[in-house]
Amino acid sequence: MIAKGKFASVGTKNGDLNTDNVVSRLRQRLHDARATGFKVRMEVLDDEQASWCVISGVLTLFVDLSQTASEQLQQVEETLHAYQLRMGRELNKQSASGVISDDIGKRAA
């Protein structure tokens, strides 16, 4: 015999699994950004677009706190994608010109 209501609400405390999934994915992508070398700044950006830049030699990713978690996730995804495309283009330019950074292509001895 199963007690009524005991397992009626399976899931999270707020009951919205979709929101929890978005928040979890956002946390993971922010972790990925930090692992890539970004400092993450979460600020209210007013009318400015979330993006990335280099401040005093530090890669900085801006996330707009005034947006929903879903919108923030989309911003982070787009920003990281744009960063990866730019780095890929710069790598291709270096490769084409024959000048490659010392960090690229290092192998363990």
Instruction: Enumerate the domain spans of the chain.
Output: 22-96
Provide mean pLDDT across the span 24-37: 94
pLDDT of 105 strictly over 80: no
Provide the Cα torsion 19, 50, 77, 72; round to 10°: 0
pLDDT of 3 strictly over 50: no
Distance from the Cα of residue 99 to its chain's centroid: 30
How many CA atoms are closer than 13 Å to the CA of 95, on its beta-carbon side? 8
Residue 98's pLDDT is what?
A: 63
What pTM was estimated for this model as a whole?
0.64
Stretch among 30-34, 37-41, 104-108 having the lowest mean pLDDT: 104-108
3-class DSSP assignment, residue 27: helix
